[in-house]
Amino acid sequence: MPTTRPDSKPALRKELGQHHLSSGALVAPILNYLGLTLNPSPTQEAASSVLEIGPGGGVLTNELLRHGARVIAIELDSQWAFELSRRLAALDGGRFEDRWSLLVGDALDLDWTRLNRDHRVVGNLPYGIATVLLRRALVGGSAGMKLAFLVQLEVAQRICAVPGDAEYGALSVLVRARTVRGGGARLLGRVKPGSFVPPPKVDSAFVGLELAPPMVPLARWESFTRVVFAGFSQRRKTLRNALRNSIGGRYSGALLLDALERAGVGNKQRAEELDIPVWVSLWRTLEGQEEPSD
């Protein structure tokens, strides 16, 4: 484990994917997306509860506090958690000490079902956990909850992709199944490697999304996920052939054909051409799920 002198800041640990932002000016896309302002009204301060994942050196934490948020931060690295506590305690003469708390722990252990729609969840996510963490948020998060993350550009493009985009894939479908009624996910801005310490080898980007009521029951989300990933498992093949090759043993050939026909999928269509209503219809037929009554 890295050690530090009392007068020095902790070392950055490569195995944890630690790349800290160098300037608070960089996080404006997150603040704007969440509607936070530099001179917040008492009403905004009372309503702005933010959970920050991986605060690191506190660049984003600092800006959240200055813009009126009440922040609960989760940091895995105990040495950086101690350093962050020291920095926040001294921030603006201790003015914000009643508006932040810090937990030492793994964000992957977070129980998303305990958060409500009024929580906003943000973070500069380590590249290694970004996709896993987002997928857990999609399953456990409440409708109305806003998420704003800084992730690898390639991941951001997949999150925000729509049918026909080169980046459109299984993750895109899952995101749209929880956000499309609220407008889908948005790419909020790009960040170059030089904006981090140390610089990563790739570009990054901010993404924002607001969770909507799920288009499939969350109790059956795993089943829906399995069908979506099977559809994208062989991108050069038609959806019909990809499903037959990936999960054909789970369903009869007749059922697969019936599901494709009911969903309106043509013989030559591929997974990347299809939007959420088609995927949901396909899944419902395969799993024998009835359409919900409004």
133-153 pLDDT, tens per residue? 999 999 999 999 999 999 999
Return the pLDDT at 10: 78
Return the pLDDT at 288: 81
CATH superfamily of 14-210: Vaccinia Virus protein VP39 (3.40.50.150)
- CATH 1.10.8.100 domain locations along the chain: 218-287
Nearest to 285 by CA among 249, 248, 253, 260: 260
Low-confidence ranges of the chain (pLDDT < 70): 1-8, 12, 15, 42-47, 182, 289-294
Q: In the structure encoding, which two tokens stand for residue 7, read together?
A: 């007068």
In words, the CATH class of domain 218-287 is: mainly alpha
Return the pLDDT at 184: 84
Nearest to 64 by CA among 82, 84, 79: 84
Return the pLDDT at 292: 56
Return the pLDDT at 293: 45
- CATH 3.40.50.150 domain locations along the chain: 14-210
Q: What is the 3-state secondary structure (H, E, C) of the chain?
A: CCCCCCCCCCCCCHHHCCCEECCHHHHHHHHHHHCCCCCCCHHHHHHCEEEEECCCCCHHHHHHHHCCCEEEEEECCHHHHHHHHHHHHHHHHHCCHHHEEEEECCHHHCCHHHCCCCEEEEEECCCCCHHHHHHHHHHHCCCCCEEEEEEEHHHHHHHHCCCCCCCCCHHHHHHHHHHHHHCCCEEEEEECHHHEECCCCCCEEEEEEECCCCCCCHHHHHHHHHHHHHHCCCCCCCHHHHHHHHHCCCCCHHHHHHHHHHHCCCCCCCHHHCCHHHHHHHHHHHHCCCCCCC
Angle between helices 153-160 and 170-179 (to 10 degrees): 50
Return the pLDDT at 4: 42
